[in-house]
Amino acid sequence: AAPFVRIPGVLSGSGVGAAAFTRRSGFLSSLSPWALPVAVGARTTATSTTSREAREGEDAAPATTTQTEARGDDGATGTSEVDNDFGFAKVGRKEHKELVKDVFMKVAPNYDVMNDFMSFFMHRLWKDRFTSTLSPFAGQQHLDVAGGTGDVAFRVLKEIRKAEEEEAEEGWSGEEGKVCVADINPAMLEEGRKRAGGTRGISFVETDAESLPFQDSSFDSYSISFGIRNVSDIDKCLQEAHRVLRRGGHFCCLEFSQVNSEVLRQIYDLYSMNVIPYIGAAYAGDAASYQYLVESIRKFPNQADFAGIIERNGFKHVRYESLFDGVVAIHSGFKL
């Protein structure tokens, strides 16, 4: 087997431990190129603080909260809320949380099937690619946030078990890897529990992504797929992700993004704004919730701006990959 890959001075020792840096193909690190795109129209881009500062003072777009800047005693820059985007509407933060929670209570029973309908089954390929970007390894302790139904979590757990079987053949006998699914919505979690049955190594926790109940440095990796645009404070969500990751921990986010091609963008806008809500009405009896989901995509920062937001919350070696010409993007970063 190929050796574990580590950045000198960041990780030490043997076994997995804090080793979110692994030997698996597709592994992301500052020492090796990012995984080659395998999806149609995929692009990979790296960002840096220097490159962003060189954009002639252009600021990264704010998250989905309209904010004012404040400086604490320690010199750190923080934010105070004015209002939040709930689709194209402006609402208060508390109201935003309740409205989003209500949306997912309604869509939970049909969530995975509707994803198939709305994406023509493409979301399965995107999630497979996302899982490979995480590079699951033997003994990995993984947190999947906003992952209620477990669609990504089960993929990650399967790859962890596969890696453990391969390592066991060569004498590995470490602690089994585990995946924790965290979601604010009990209805989504219930769908995940039903799918899990008696599967070992997976747990479900009802909690807010902006205030996780886990100790510092608890996980090797953190994923959030199609969820971060729905949180009330993206900065707080990212800060919590950074806090619960171990040193060397891998952050990955899969989210809808900005389509690069003008022609494809117009087709996509026409489909998403005019067709998806009707699919929601016809199949799930709920056009309004799917209208919000479409509108929330329009309000989310583009690939480069979101990479900047991830960087400003402490992550290093931030990269993104556009899939299907930017319909979705995978962002990745590390806690160093």
**Amino acid in position 229:** R
Name which residue leads in pLDDT, 125 or 112.
Answer: 125
Query: Measured between alpha carbons, how far is 88 from 117 in angstroms, rounded to an integer?
Result: 24
**Amino acid in position 316:** K
Distances (CA, A) of 185 to 105, 291, 310: 7, 19, 24
Q: Judging by beta carbons within 10 Å of its beta carbon (0-12, 13-18, 19+), is residue 289 exposed, middle or buried? A: buried
Output the average pLDDT for the chain: 78
For the segment 296-325, the average pLDDT, to the nearest whole number, is 96
pLDDT score at 265: 92
Order of strands, sheet of 89-91, starting from the edge strand that comes earlier in the sequence: 65-71, 77-86, 89-91
For the segment 22-44, the average pLDDT, to the nearest whole number, is 36
The answer on pLDDT for 40 being more than 90 is: no
For the segment 90-101, the average pLDDT, to the nearest whole number, is 68
The answer on pLDDT for 86 being more than 50 is: yes
Full-prediction pTM beyond 0.85?
no
CB distance 229 to 258 below 8 Å: no
For the segment 208-225, the average pLDDT, to the nearest whole number, is 98
Of the candidates 225, 206, 201, 26, the residue with the CA atom closest to the CA atom of residue 144: 225
Neighbours of 322 (CB within 10 A): 23
Q: With bands split at pLDDT 50, 70 and 90, how would you rate the model's confidence at 13?
A: very low
